[in-house]
Amino acid sequence: MNNLWARSALRLYRTVGSVAYPFLGPLLRARARKGKEDLERRGERYGYASWKRPEGPLIWLHAASVGESLAILPLIERIDSFSINIVLTTGTVTSANVAEERLPRRVMHQYVPLDMKRAITRFLDHWQPDLAIFAESEIWPTTIQELAARNVPQILVNARMSDRSNKRWAKRPALAQTIFGSFSQVIAQSEVDGERFRELGSPWVTVVGNLKIDVGVPNADPQLVNNILAMIGGRPTWIAVSTHRGEEESVAETHRLLKAHVPDILTILVPRHPDRADEVRSALGELGMNVVSRSTGDAINGKTDVFLGDTIGEMGLYLRLSKIAFMGKSLKHEGGQNPIEPVMTGAAILSGRYVQNFRDTYQALLEAGGVRLVKDERMLASHVLHLLRNGKDLADMQKAASDTVAGMTGALNRSVEALEPYVMPLRVKVGLERRAGQEDDLDGDEPIGRRNA
């Protein structure tokens, strides 16, 4: 009965998608006006390819956004070194820009097709992947079903399952079993994630750690960093990273509290979504804050309260401007943000208490003394002030965090090892095809040994 309900639910999902398919143009155009779609490449969202499929084995990798794309970039580079064709799909304009800049030359990028039968069928008919790899928590029912119907192995890498998603899936066990049972393997970030995927029906789960830890220190132009530090001019700083709607007001209040003790304090604010920059700037202005935006190129001066990091791909720059980092989505929102990059650039970490999406990482940092959790703006201001005034405590937190993260590396090699049963046959096929191609270039009537001589 439960299985019948699950199949009926999936049929309804596909039917709704089929009905909605002809009417998606206005939605995509509206998203494009907000900078969330590339109209020149909108055909890719309907499954039309912008590349010719190359000969030989091909792996489809999908990463939703910038964070996921950067996390699996070392994995892409490792697979690319095997000379296996790769098509990477992403879902955002920002991630597409990052892909264009960072991908190995042979890797092809497309926008991910809509999770509708006509779009995904068109995509799969063209690319004919031998293996599909999805990053973190990308679950698209129609895509999963279509791949399963074609007997294409599906693997979830760097997989995580948030508390909210786990509760939602747990209420629909038959549907979860149908979806997660389609994955040949789930390569999970943590034991908690791994156990959740097992309970939801994944038949084969391996826990390897977080790929983001193996990405390395985020890049930044040293000259640009020095130029902005010169504008700051030795003022005390702290940075609020990846804030969400409503948290900027908390950052402003924290700044106000700090300013009563440190009159020349400079707050660096980097919203999670840079397209909210105008909204954030307006909100801070209404609170009496003097804001300088990175995107305008205006100079930071002695009257600047907040330096707004509203550009894409410059997190490495912003993180090098302070040694004290507060992680967003943790004070007024739930889930938290990944503290790995700030740790790698040498920051001591502060966060709200709602960090369940990265529970294992924060737990390790807490045990080592590399992070402190706060409950409100007053407590946040108190911790920032303490670290600004106590260099030894700041240095101890920085070292504890750095040592903890250094001990968590190795997920890339473990992921490659877990993928080997699926990738190795493709490597063998590449080798055989290459050898056959070399032999075809030779005169078939002449012994190969003589020709080589």
- Return the pLDDT at 449: 34
- Return the pLDDT at 193: 93
107 close to 88: Cβ distance less than 8 angstroms = yes
- Return the pLDDT at 363: 93
Task: Using the CB atoms, write b or e for 231-263: b if 16+ within 10 Å.
Answer: bbeeebbbbbbbbbeebbbbbbbbbbbbeeebe
Residue 268, strand partner residues: 239, 307
Write out the residue limits of the CATH 3.40.50.2000 domain(s) in the chain.
222-400
The residue type of 104 is: P
309 close to 280: Cβ distance less than 8 angstroms = no
- Return the pLDDT at 446: 39
* Gap between the Cα atoms of 42 and 126, Å rounded: 17
* Gap between the Cα atoms of 384 and 37, Å rounded: 39
**244, 358, 409, 240 alpha-carbon torsion, rounded to 10°:** 30
Distances (CA, A) of 448 to 432, 435, 443: 17, 13, 8
- Return the pLDDT at 43: 92
Runs of H (alpha helix) within 150-212: 163-170, 173-180, 191-199
Q: Where are the beta strands (DSSP E) in 189-309?
A: 205-207, 237-243, 266-271, 291-293, 306-308
CA contacts within 13 A on the Cβ side of 102: 21
- Return the pLDDT at 88: 95
* Gap between the Cα atoms of 293 and 281, Å rounded: 8
Write out the residue limits of the CATH 3.40.50.11720 domain(s) in the chain.
37-215
Burial grade of 379 (CB within 10 A; 0-12, 13-18, 19 or more): middle
Helix (H, G, I), strand (E, B) or coil at 152: coil
Residue 226, both tokens? 């020095």
In the predicted model, residues of the chain with pLDDT beneath 50 are 442-453
136 is catalytic: no
Helix (H, G, I), strand (E, B) or coil at 302: coil
Interacting residues of 349 by C-beta distance below 8 A, sequence separation 6+? 325, 327, 339, 342, 343, 365, 370, 371, 372, 397, 401
The residue annotated as part of the active site, out of 44, 68, 136, 247, is 68
177 close to 200: Cβ distance less than 8 angstroms = yes
- Return the pLDDT at 150: 96
Q: pLDDT, tens digit, for every residue of 200-241? A: 999 999 999 999 888 878 889 999 999 999 999 999 999 999
Runs of H (alpha helix) within 181-276: 191-199, 222-232, 247-259
Distances (CA, A) of 16 to 8, 9, 157: 12, 11, 29
Q: Is 3.40.50.2000 the CATH number for 222-400?
A: yes
Q: Is 3.40.50.11720 the CATH number for 37-215?
A: yes
Distances (CA, A) of 137 to 71, 186, 278, 415: 13, 10, 30, 16
- Return the pLDDT at 447: 35
Closest CA to 55 of 112, 127, 152, 146: 127
Interacting residues of 93 by C-beta distance below 8 A, sequence separation 6+? 35, 36, 37, 38
- Return the pLDDT at 450: 27
- Return the pLDDT at 2: 63
Distances (CA, A) of 391 to 75, 255, 282, 323, 388: 38, 20, 35, 11, 7
Distances (CA, A) of 318 to 199, 269, 311, 366, 453: 40, 9, 10, 24, 60
Burial grade of 221 (CB within 10 A; 0-12, 13-18, 19 or more): exposed
